[in-house]
Amino acid sequence: MNNMVIANFFVTILVRQQYVINFLFWLATRAPVHWPLSVRWHLGKVYHHGGLHSGTAVNGTLWFALYTGALFFQLTQGKLDVSSVTLGASLAPSPCSV
């Protein structure tokens, strides 16, 4: 489950990088004019890449909350050896959200 958190936050950060945005726009504008209009119209939707950024950020946050809840549940059931430092770091508010 922690890989889902990392993957979502990785995509969130990656999509906002200027080089990636420039590459996406470069790729979308390379469609030949003889391609069908419907294909070129869909490539023109590259301007809506912000949905990918916010969607992965929300999903990463939800996955992290689920992961922290699973850690806490397994700790209370005695099924997993989780240190209190790890659990405390997961429950502590991040400096970015303050």
pLDDT digits (tens, 9 = 90+) for 10-46: 888 888 889 988 998 899 899 999 999 999 998 888 8
- 87 CB contacts (<8 Å, ≥6 apart)? 68, 71, 72, 75
In a domain, 19, yes or no: yes
Q: What predicted TM-score, i.e. pTM, was given to this entire model?
A: 0.63
In a domain, 97, yes or no: no
Choice between 79 and 7, residue whose per-residue pLDDT is larger: 7
User: Considering the chain, what percentage of its residues have pLDDT values greater than 70?
Assistant: 90
- 1 CB contacts (<8 Å, ≥6 apart)? 63, 66, 67, 70
Alpha-carbon gap, residue 56 to 2, rounded angstroms: 14
In a domain, 33, yes or no: yes
In a domain, 80, yes or no: yes
In a domain, 31, yes or no: yes
In a domain, 22, yes or no: yes
Number of domains in the chain: 1
Crossing angle for the helix pair 18-28 and 2-15, to the nearest 10 degrees = 70
State which residues form the domain around 75: 2-92
